[in-house]
Amino acid sequence: MNLTKEEEALIMSLRGKKTKITCTEAAKLLGTTALDVAYKLRNGEASFGTAEYNGRRWIYNIFKEDIV
């Protein structure tokens, strides 16, 4: 799931100014599963962001400064 610049731009445009979204929300935008998003983010396979578990769900942290 290495994101293209177009996919990164899509996520940022749809999410606005939020820097944290759930992996479920990210998965819907990317057309994949939340578990796949979390797994790949945890393993550093995605081109930006991280994943963390908050006790109930995975949270996808987007770092806008990583997007050119």
DSSP state letters, 2-46: PPPHHHHHHHHHHHTT-SEEEHHHHHHHHTS-HHHHHHHHHTT-S
* CATH number, domain with residue 36: 1.10.10
What integer pLDDT is reported at residue 48 of this predicted model?
57
Assess whether pLDDT exceeds 80 at residue 33: yes
The total number of structural domains in the chain stands at 1
Which domain does 51 fall in, by range?
Answer: 5-66
Mean pLDDT of 18-39: 76
Mean pLDDT check: name the lowest of 10-14, 37-41, 47-51: 47-51
What integer pLDDT is reported at residue 20 of this predicted model?
72
For the chain, give the percent of residues with pLDDT over 70.
47
What integer pLDDT is reported at residue 25 of this predicted model?
78
Mean pLDDT of 55-67: 60
